[in-house]
Amino acid sequence: MSRYSLKPLPHRADLFEVAVGWDPGLSTYFAIVFGAPEIACEPEVLLRRGGTFADIYGVAELLDIVLEFAEVAPELRCRLDADRSAEPTS
């Protein structure tokens, strides 16, 4: 499984983290958007996609989900494709 932490967009001060990656066990990419935590609390999960089998099978679909929340480095697409190739569905 891979997991990358993305920096929220500057105007999204309500966010703590955006995480994306490849889950070979579920044969899906995933995206999780965490809200800014309150004092002494864990960040709230605001959005979770890719938690069921083959929910997000393409990198383009994954990136479309997170572009409104986070900055996406140009090389991330290649890394995610490589992760899927290195760890195919189990």
Q: Each residue of 32-86: pLDDT tens digit?
A: 999 988 877 888 999 999 999 999 989 999 999 999 999 999 999 999 999 999 9
Give the per-residue pLDDT at 79: 97
Query: How many domains in the chain?
Result: 1
Domain, as residue range, for 39: 4-86
Name the token pair of 13.
């001060």
In contact, 10 and 71? CB cutoff 8 Å? no
Binned at pLDDT 50, 70 and 90, residue 87 comes out as: confident
In contact, 15 and 33? CB cutoff 8 Å? yes
In this prediction the pTM is: 0.92
Supply the DSSP string of 6-70, one letter for each residue.
EPBPTT-TTEEEEEEEEETTTTEEEEEEEEPPPTTSPPPEEEEE--STTS---HHHHHHHHTTTB
Greatest Cα pair distance, the chain, in angstroms, is 40
